[in-house]
Amino acid sequence: METKGTATVVKHTGSHYLLSELPVWNPFPAVIRGKVRLESSRATNPVAVGDVIEYNLPADGGDGMATISRILPRRNGIIRKSTNLSRESHIIAANIDKVFLITTMILPETKLEFVDRFLVCCEAYQVHPVILVNKTDLYDEPDLQAMLSHFIGIYRGAGYQVLEISVADGRGIDEVKDMCKDSICLFSGASGVGKSSLLKALDPSLNPKIGDISTSHLQGKHTTTFYEMHPLSCGGFVIDTPGIRGFGLVDIEDEELSTYFPEMLKITDNCRFKPCTHTHEPGCAVKQAVDDGLISPERYCSYLGMLQEETKYR
């Protein structure tokens, strides 16, 4: 007779998975049934790290391989447009307590459009984001300090938590570690922002691959290959992901997009017309707030760019 159980997906390497019955860390291998794969055919990966699943295990032990029989409903997730045009979406991770978006001002420079798309996804799928600005030990020059202050002003002004950190000198690392305790946290960002080095700083027992910056384009090289969860010695679990070069939005309609900009959502009821696209309508409270300096023009331009982009993918 089969053994049945419930576990969390802690690693995904294509067709094979590792499961663990969290909070106990004891990973074991699994494969997925074809029926489950077909039921989630809109996604390139029907099962994601962080998913809670039901599994079956042969009573005789066999080769020790469990079979994933059902994906339980997700509490939330980070989902982006897939680069595989035959599918619609790619699930980065599911059932997350916090997501840390790692950014840098230089080496490489994180584009504001990328940050805004990632934050819209967090808002849409109800994931709590924290923005980490890494490599602050490099920002001594006045122009870089000004760039940093401007960046922080944009996102704190929009209502987000922004923390300055440096893996090199340890700034902010203990604070990040405290936020990870008793939580499942996703660490993500563009290639080269220092994600793997940060995970190593949070827990020296972890051994993520650490890459160099490409001097030709000042971009990071991909060092993480698979989506994988790790236990932290301080408590909690972290999900490591490959560096992301683009972030396309999925299943977000134009008329709901502004509701995922917190600073717009707070004042949209003051618009003269409802619904308001905040583009051309007279008496628009959002456009007035941009003119008055209450909403950053950069965030508003990101919003307009997302509206105008037909494929929702860049």
Residue pLDDT tens, the chain, 314 long: 578 899 999 998 877 899 999 999 999 999 987 767 656 556 778 899 999 999 998 876 556 689 999 999 999 999 887 655 545 788 899 999 999 999 999 989 999 999 999 999 999 999 999 999 999 999 989 999 999 999 999 999 999 999 999 999 999 999 999 999 999 999 999 889 999 999 999 999 987 655 443 333 334 444 445 789 999 998 999 999 887 766 778 778 888 999 999 999 999 999 999 899 999 999 999 999 999 999 999 999 999 999 987 444 43
CATH of the domain at 193: 3.40.50.300
Q: Domain check: are 90 and 226 in the same one?
A: yes
Q: Domain check: are 58 and 90 in the same one?
A: no
Q: Domain check: are 61 and 91 in the same one?
A: no
Q: Domain check: are 61 and 85 in the same one?
A: no
Range of 207's domain?
78-240
Number of domains in the chain: 3
Q: Domain check: are 103 and 229 in the same one?
A: yes
Domain assignment of residue 69, yes or no: yes
Q: Domain check: are 68 and 84 in the same one?
A: no
- Give the pLDDT of residue 1: 59
Q: Domain check: are 191 and 115 in the same one?
A: yes
Domain assignment of residue 249, yes or no: no
Q: Domain check: are 114 and 203 in the same one?
A: yes
Q: What would the DSSP string read from start to end of the chain? A: --EEEEEEEEEE-SSEEEEE-TTS---EEEEE-HHHHHHTTTBS-SS-TT-EEEEEE-TT-TTS-EEEEEEPPPS-EEEEE-SSTTSSEEEEEES-SEEEEEE-SSSSPPPHHHHHHHHHHHHHTT--EEEEE--GGG--SHHHHHHHHHHHHHHHHTT-EEEE-BTTTTBTHHHHHHHHTTSEEEEEESTTSSHHHHHHHH-TT-------EETTTTEEPP---SEEEEE-TTSSEEEE----S-----S--HHHHGGGSHHHHTTGGGSSSSS--SSS-TT-HHHHHHHTTSS-HHHHHHHHHHHH-TTS--
- Give the pLDDT of residue 309: 74
Q: Domain check: are 61 and 200 in the same one?
A: no
Last residue of a domain, one of 73, 91, 121: 73
Q: Domain check: are 131 and 203 in the same one?
A: yes
Last residue of a domain, one of 21, 44, 73: 73
Q: Domain check: are 95 and 32 in the same one?
A: no
Q: Domain check: are 154 and 292 in the same one?
A: no
- Give the pLDDT of residue 80: 83
Last residue of a domain, one of 191, 215, 240: 240
- Give the pLDDT of residue 291: 96
